[in-house]
């Protein structure tokens, strides 16, 4: 692959200019940037792996205007544009059955933007959301070269690291709840729910006992981190994804012999009381509130009551503006004018009054209108359909290893899709990366010759 001479010349001039400037110490940074750019040009998939690994660590750059993921994303976008222009990447890779949903959603988004109730808030929302489609295109172009085993390792290690920090340091907690390097414990729980199926895949695929014990330790830290977040939605999503995993491996459960069952029972007898003992009392109370909703827990539990108020306000916005909504990012503006904002404001600060819907689907339906909401839901459902088709294709080719991989990716993707019901995160990077990967994985599976199937 030829590296453009113009880029080398440009960066060389930058180095010379920095040497002649009052800041000559910045010149080595330009050299490092040139080397990094060259590496990314040769191996752009490494850049996508780096972005995936940096997502849980973005809090380290919250004080900086340029984060690591933004720099990598901008460099990857420039590199891929150059490679497309030089025909080093076939444009056919951009084909996807998600475009019809995404283009329609983008068109309605722009119409809603023009009719918004607050242009400033809508432009800010557009700036945040634009990162997602850019990652979607990047992943479509280089997803075929992505090492999915390495993807699982990096995501698991990155999220596990933040779990360890949150569990053992109050600096990474929000009022006693683990938040990692994020500001929202529920957002942190979303990352954990996404990483748990990948950690389980690494445990199963470990080449030896030592590797399996290491990844099992990471799995334990992820579960501990989920407990420390005290996220009820995280617990529900994690439970559902693990049930799917058990269903996939149901045929292998028949291999368990009575002697194995005895060891399993001993392990459960130790693990369950230990888990209950270390579980924070506040988390137990929050979980219990889910089972007594019919007896008025919604009114007693401030969090549940606040979420109910989001649904009431969002439903009213949908009824009043069903076609184009009130404008991107304007839910907090409408919520702040209701009595709910004052009731559920802890200290009556402006930031507590302007709250998001904590439900991506509700937020999109209320801010962008019902048609845009249906397109977004259709896009997410099509992504899940792509993964199930890819898994079915590998099963038809009797490739159990790839089918297992698709099952765990399905679990992670479903965790994201379900968590969007409890969190306002339409710009979550893993969501857009996984959406593009669903297309890539389905194409690779269906293009794989049946003659190459494993016996």
DSSP letters for 135-158: HHHHHHHHGGG--HHHHHHHHHHH
d(CA 339, CA 114): 28
- Distance from CA of residue 361 to its chain's centroid? 15
Lowest mean pLDDT: which of 13-22, 69-78, 258-267, 402-411? 258-267
d(CA 325, CA 113): 9
Lowest mean pLDDT: which of 19-28, 64-73, 243-252, 294-303? 294-303
Q: Is the pLDDT of residue 455 over 60?
A: no
Q: Select from 438, 429, 436, 437 the least CA-distant residue to 53.
A: 429
Predicted confidence band of residue 296 (pLDDT cuts 50, 70, 90): very low
pLDDT tens, position by position, 79-138: 899 888 888 888 889 999 999 999 999 999 999 999 998 999 999 999 999 999 999 999
Residue with tokens 């329609």: 104
Which pLDDT belongs to residue 262?
58
Which pLDDT belongs to residue 196?
93
Residue 177 DSSP symbol: E
Q: Is the pLDDT of residue 257 over 80?
A: no
Single pTM value for the model: 0.86
- Distance from CA of residue 421 to its chain's centroid? 13
Higher pLDDT: 267 or 41? It is 41
Q: What mean pLDDT is reported for the chain?
A: 82
Which pLDDT belongs to residue 349?
57
Mean pLDDT of 49-77: 79
Which pLDDT belongs to residue 160?
94
Which pLDDT belongs to residue 85?
87
Q: Is the pLDDT of residue 279 over 90?
A: no
Residues 6 or more apart from 331 whose CB is under 8 A from it? 313, 314, 317, 356, 357, 363, 366, 367, 424
């Amino acid at each position: 692959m030829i590296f453009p001479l113009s880029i080398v010349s440009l960066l060389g001039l930058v180095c010379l200019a920095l040497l002649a400037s009052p800041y000559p110490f910045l010149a080595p940074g330009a050299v490092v940037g040139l080397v990094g750019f060259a590496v990314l040009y040769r191996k752009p998939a490494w850049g996508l792996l780096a972005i995936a690994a940096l997502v849980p660590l973005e809090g380290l750059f919250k004080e900086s205007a340029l984060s690591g993921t933004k720099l990598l994303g901008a460099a990857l976008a420039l590199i891929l544009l150059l490679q497309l222009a030089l025909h080093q990447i076939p444009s056919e890779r951009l084909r996807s059955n998600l475009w019809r949903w995404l283009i329609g959603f983008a068109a309605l988004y722009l119409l809603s933007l023009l009719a918004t109730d607050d242009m400033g808030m809508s432009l800010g929302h557009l700036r945040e959301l634009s990162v997602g489609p850019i990652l979607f295109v990047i992943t479509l172009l280089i997803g075929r070269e992505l090492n999915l085993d390495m993807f699982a390792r990096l995501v698991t290690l990155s999220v596990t690291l933040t779990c360890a920090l949150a569990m053992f340091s109050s600096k990474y907690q929000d009022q006693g709840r683990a938040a990692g390097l994020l500001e929202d414990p529920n957002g942190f729980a979303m990352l954990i729910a996404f990483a748990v199926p990948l950690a389980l895949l690494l445990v199963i695929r470990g080449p030896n006992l030592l590797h399996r014990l290491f990844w099992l330790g990471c799995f334990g830290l992820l579960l501990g981190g989920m407990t420390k977040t005290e996220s009820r939605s995280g617990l529900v999503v994690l439970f559902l994804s693990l049930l799917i995993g058990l269903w996939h491996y149901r045929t292998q459960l028949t291999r368990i012999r009575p002697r194995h069952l005895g060891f399993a029972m001993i392990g459960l007898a130790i693990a369950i009381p230990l888990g209950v003992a270390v579980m924070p009392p506040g988390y137990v109370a929050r979980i219990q509130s889910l089972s007594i909703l019919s007896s008025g827990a919604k009114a007693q539990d401030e969090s549940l009551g606040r979420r109910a108020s989001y649904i009431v306000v969002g439903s009213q916005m949908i009824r009043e503006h069903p076609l184009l909504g009130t404008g991107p990012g304007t839910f907090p503006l409408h919520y702040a004018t209701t009595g709910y904002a004052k009731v559920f404001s802890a200290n009556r600060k402006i930031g507590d009054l302007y709250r998001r819907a904590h439900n991506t689907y509700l937020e999109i339906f209320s801010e962008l209108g019902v048609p845009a909401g249906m397109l977004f839901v259709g896009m997410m459902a099509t992504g899940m359909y792509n993964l199930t088709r890819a898994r079915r294709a590998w099963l038809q080719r009797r490739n159990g290893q790839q089918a297992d991989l698709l099952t765990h990716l399905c679990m992670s993707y479903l965790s994201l899709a379900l968590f969007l019901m409890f969190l306002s995160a339409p710009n979550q990077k893993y969501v857009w990366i996984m959406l593009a990967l669903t297309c890539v994985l389905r194409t690779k599976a269906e293009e794989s010759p049946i003659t190459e199937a494993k016996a």
